[in-house]
Structures are given as C-alpha cells and as structure tokens.
C-alpha cells in the first residue's frame, strides 16, 4: 500500500519555516500534542485541517501529502515491465501481478488495460472463455472512467469477444457504447429530461 507521509512532510515544512511544534499548534488552534502525533505518524490531521495546513505552508495538498504523480506512474510502469516476462509463458502469474497492483492502485487505467491484455491473449490465442464477463466489466470500467486511449482499447477487447455467433459481443458492445453516449450527452437526469421536452 502507498504510504501516507503527511506527518514527515509537516515536520519538514515546519522546520524549513523555522517554527516549533507549539507555534504551529497555536497558528492552527490545535494542541502541541496533536502536532507531535501527526509528525510521529501516530495520527493524521482531520480532513478539514488539511487545506488550512497546506495554505499556512503555502504548498499544494499534493506536496503536503508527499504525493508525486510521476513517481506513482513510474512505479506502475515498472510493475508492468517486470511482469511482462510472464505474459506469454505464465499468463496466470502476470494476471495475479496485475490484480495485486490494482489492489494498491485501484482503477489505474494502465493496470486495467494490462489485465485486459492478458485476458484477451488467453481468449484469442488459448481459447479461454472463462473470463468473458470480467473482460466486459473491465471494458465498461475503462470506457466510462478513463481517457480516450483506454476507451479505444476497451472497445477493441469487446470486439475480440466476437468469436462465436457474435451476439454476445455485439450485445455488450452496444450496451457499453449506449451507456457511454448517454453519460457524455446527458451527464445528469435533468439534462436527459430537458432533452426530451
């Protein structure tokens, strides 16, 4: 799981500003013990306090949480690159690695697409139809929640499911495309209702 380093960051920012825990506590209207517990990692500040702390130190909340998007993307790419060794020879292990990574980074498009890649490979090259429902579910998630690249990938995977009489894939492709269309055109019930009047 990704560590939350807010306590370390508060300590770092406080020392950089040259103030004591007591002085910070006074500014934030909390006890010095609260600041001490934050910095030692025993507790976290209340959610309402986070923007106040960030504002006081004049940093973004990402910086306060010590959250680096580039570092996270690099970690995810490394997971995918390291797992690639198993893709063809031990696809099940690759799938397990992707599922494990998705527990740490839920909803990440690159990991979802990598998992879908493995399912698609098993379907197309090995004839494994056991994960069709999960493929459709993942495709729908990518189509409804991700950027345009993921949208195209997910549609491509649904197309690969057309291996028998075609009705299964076509039905779900239509369903997914319809839901995406209505989400884009009618993001809420009022917009949909007004379009009908």
The SS3 assignment for 19 reads coil
111 in a structural domain: yes
Distinct helix (H) and strand (E) counts, the chain = 12, 0
Find, among 140, 138, 116, 119, the residue nearest to 130 by Cα. 119
With contact defined as beta carbons under 8 Å apart, do 60 and 67 qualify? no
CATH number assigned to the domain comprising residue 154: 1.25.40
pLDDT at 24 over 80: yes
Q: Looking at the 3D structure of the chain, how many domains does it have? A: 2
Instruction: Tell me the average pLDDT of the chain.
Output: 78
**Domain final residue pick, 64, 84, 99:** 64
| pTM for the structure as a whole | 0.56
Q: Are 153 and 138 in contact (CB under 8 A)?
A: no
Which of 17, 43, 64 is at the close of a domain?
64
Query: Among residues 16, 49, 64, which one ends one of the domains?
Result: 64
Quick check: is 97 in a domain?
yes
Position 156 scores a pLDDT of: 55
Same domain, 187 and 104: yes
User: Do 103 and 24 belong together in one domain?
Assistant: no
CATH of the domain at 27: 1.10.260.40
CA angle 19, 46, 23 (to 5 degrees): 15
122 and 46: one domain?
no
Q: C-alpha angle 166/148/102, rounded to 5°?
A: 85
Residue 33 reports pLDDT greater than 90: yes
Cβ atoms 161, 172 nearer than 8 A:
yes
The answer to whether residues 61 and 54 touch, using CB atoms and an 8 Å cutoff, is yes
What is the residue range of 161's domain?
A: 69-196
Specify whether 88 is located in the same domain as 60.
Answer: no
pLDDT digits (tens, 9 = 90+) for 61-80: 888 887 767 788 899 999 99
Q: Are residues 115 and 38 in the same domain?
A: no
For residue 196 the two structure tokens come to 């009908």
Indicate if 174 and 142 belong to the same structural domain: yes
User: Does 18 share its domain with 111?
Assistant: no
Question: Does 185 lie in the same domain as 89?
Answer: yes
Residue 35: the pLDDT is 95
Residue 1 lies in a domain: no
Say yes or no: 102 and 124 in one domain.
Answer: yes
For the packed helices 21-28 and 6-17, what is the interaxial angle rounded to 10 degrees?
100
- Average pLDDT for residues 27-40, to the nearest whole number? 94
| Same domain? 36 vs 101 | no
Coil, helix or strand at residue 39: helix
Say yes or no: 11 and 99 in one domain.
no
CA 64/CA 67 separation, integer angstroms: 8
- Residues 97-154 have pLDDT tens digits of 999 999 988 888 889 989 988 988 888 888 888 888 888 888 777 777 655 555 555 5
Asked whether the predicted pLDDT for residue 185 surpasses 50, the reply is no
Lowest mean pLDDT among 11-15, 151-155, 191-195: 191-195
Please check whether residue 55 lies inside any domain of the structure.
yes
- Please give the pLDDT value at position 72: 84
What's residue 90's pLDDT? 96
- Give yes or no: residues 77 and 40 share one domain: no
């Amino acid at each position: 799981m990704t560590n939350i380093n807010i306590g370390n960051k508060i300590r770092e920012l406080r020392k950089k500003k040259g103030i004591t825990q007591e002085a910070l506590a006074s500014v934030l209207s909390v006890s010095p013990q609260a600041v001490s517990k934050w910095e030692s990692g025993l507790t976290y500040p209340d959610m309402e306090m986070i923007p106040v702390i960030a504002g006081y130190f004049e940093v973004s909340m990402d910086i306060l949480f010590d959250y680096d998007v580039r570092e996270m993307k690099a970690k995810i790419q490394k997971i995918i690159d390291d797992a690639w060794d198993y893709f063809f020879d031990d696809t099940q292990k690759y799938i397990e690695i992707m599922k494990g990574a998705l527990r740490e980074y839920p909803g990440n498009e690159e990991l979802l697409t990598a998992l879908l890649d493995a399912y698609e490979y098993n379907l197309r090259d090995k004839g494994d139809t056991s994960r069709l429902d999960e493929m459709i579910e993942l495709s729908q998630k990518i189509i409804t929640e991700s950027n345009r690249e993921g949208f195209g990938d997910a549609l491509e995977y649904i197309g690969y499911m057309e291996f028998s009489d075609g009705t299964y894939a076509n039905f779900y492709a239509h369903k997914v495309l319809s839901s995406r269309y209505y989400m884009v055109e009618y993001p809420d019930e009022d917009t949909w209702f007004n379009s009908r009047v």
